Each structure stands twice: as C-alpha cells, then as structure tokens.
Amino acid sequence: MAAPSAPEVDGEEGSNLIRSPVLYCSKSPPEMASAQEQVIVLGFLENLMVMYMLSLSFFQAVAEKNLGNAAYKLKD
C-alpha cells in the first residue's frame, strides 16, 4: 500500500486553497462573525427557546386535562 501523498498547493497566484484529494480548505483561519450576525443568531436561538417553553406548557396542560378526565371517569 502506497503512502499518502502530500496535498498539492494550488498554483494560481494569490490563491488561498490547498488542493487535497479529500477536500478544499482555506489556509487562513475562519473570521469571527460580525456583531450584527451574532445578534441575529442569538435572537433566533432566543425565539427557539421561547417556542420550546410554550410547547412544553401546552403539552403539560393537555396531559393534566387528560389525567383529570381519566380520574373523573374512574370516580363514576
């Protein structure tokens, strides 16, 4: 079995890509998201959390109602 070859550097002038048999990756580190992008993501996550909490309250209310109906039927 042959040893894996080193990735080839893309020969174009000013290119940031390393050519690899598996994937393309950038030599430069990823940039930090801007403040506006962070606010958008945090707002989205906050909305998801609120929707999750509301759905939990709804399902809890439905379960309590069903348990109350079952207890009422058993009492008869």
Note the pLDDT tens digit of each residue in 26-57.
566 667 778 888 899 999 999 999 999 999 99
What is the pTM for the complete model shown? 0.46
Cα 66 from chain centroid (whole Å): 34
On whether the CB atoms of residues 10 and 25 are closer than 8 A, the answer is no
Q: Residue 7 pLDDT more than 90?
A: no
- Mean local confidence (pLDDT), 6-34: 59
Q: At 73, is the pLDDT very low, low, confident or very high (cuts 50, 70, 90)?
A: confident
Percentage of residues in the chain with pLDDT exceeding 70?
Answer: 58
